[in-house]
């Protein structure tokens, strides 16, 4: 279905065990990157200007929450989805920007499989609910969210007709 070539796939739906936790590595945004993203998508003063940011509730120039989510996605793709039979996501729940992200913070993403269930309408696809958690170098949580993903199954469900 146009995702990762089959010979590179390590993770199918059956490999997503509820309770399992994966470290998906780190990203360190620079001041220039924070300003570039904000200039394009979120030009609020506390993402662009040091003086305005100092006077804001954040206390200093900080990344757009959308930038933080997008950096988390990059780690998710590079360090997990590209090795998986991922088919995309219908959405997310409970997105929390818990602390500001400042220039040169080192952000580590982990994901936890919360729940896995077959997709009734598609026997070759399963759904997985995942928690995303990103912490900075001080151990503070900066981002939490929960999302559903669709993954191809290694072994599609059999539709069995019985006379019992």
Residue with Cβ nearer its own copies (19 or 65): 65
In the list 26, 82, 83, 112, the residue contacting its own copies (rule: CB under 8 A) is: 82
In the list 9, 63, 87, 134, the residue contacting its own copies (rule: CB under 8 A) is: 87
Structure tokens at 47: 């993402």
Residue with Cβ nearer its own copies (70 or 160): 70
Smallest distance, Å, CB 13 to its own copies?
15
- Listed residue (107, 103, 161) closest to 137, CA to CA: 107
In the list 26, 56, 83, 112, the residue contacting its own copies (rule: CB under 8 A) is: 56
Q: Does 18 bind its own copies (CB under 8 A)?
A: no
- Listed residue (5, 18, 27, 9) closest to 143, CA to CA: 27
Report how far apart the first and last C-alpha atoms of the chain are (Å, whole number). 36
CA–CA separation, 115 and 161 (whole Å): 28
Q: Does 41 bind its own copies (CB under 8 A)?
A: yes
Smallest distance, Å, CB 164 to its own copies?
35
Q: Are 68 and 134 in contact (CB under 8 A)?
A: yes
- Listed residue (149, 28, 163) closest to 77, CA to CA: 149
In the list 12, 26, 70, 124, the residue contacting its own copies (rule: CB under 8 A) is: 70
In the list 55, 106, 137, 155, the residue contacting its own copies (rule: CB under 8 A) is: 55
List b or e across 70-86, with b for residues whose CB sees 16 or more CB atoms inside 10 angstroms: ebbeebbeebbbeebbb
- Judged by the rule CB under 8 A, the positions of this chain that interact with its own copies are 1-4, 40-46, 52-58, 64-66, 69-71, 73-74, 77-78, 81-82, 86-97
């Amino acid at each position: 279905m146009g995702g990762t070539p089959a010979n590179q796939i390590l993770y199918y739906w059956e490999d997503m065990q509820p309770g399992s936790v994966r470290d998906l590595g780190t990203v360190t945004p620079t001041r220039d990157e924070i300003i570039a993203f904000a200039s394009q998508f979120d030009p609020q003063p506390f993402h662009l200007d040091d003086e305005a940011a100092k006077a804001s509730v954040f206390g200093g120039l900080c990344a757009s929450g959308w930038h933080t989510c997008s950096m988390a996605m990059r780690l998710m793709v590079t360090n997990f989805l590209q090795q998986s039979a991922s088919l995309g996501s219908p959405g997310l729940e409970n997105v929390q920007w818990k602390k500001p992200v400042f220039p040169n913070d080192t952000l580590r993403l982990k994901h936890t499989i919360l729940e896995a269930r077959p997709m009734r309408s598609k026997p070759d696809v399963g759904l997985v609910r995942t928690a995303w958690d990103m912490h900075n170098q001080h151990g503070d949580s900066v981002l939490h969210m929960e999302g559903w993903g669709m993954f191809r199954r290694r072994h599609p469900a059999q539709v069995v007709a019985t006379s019992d």
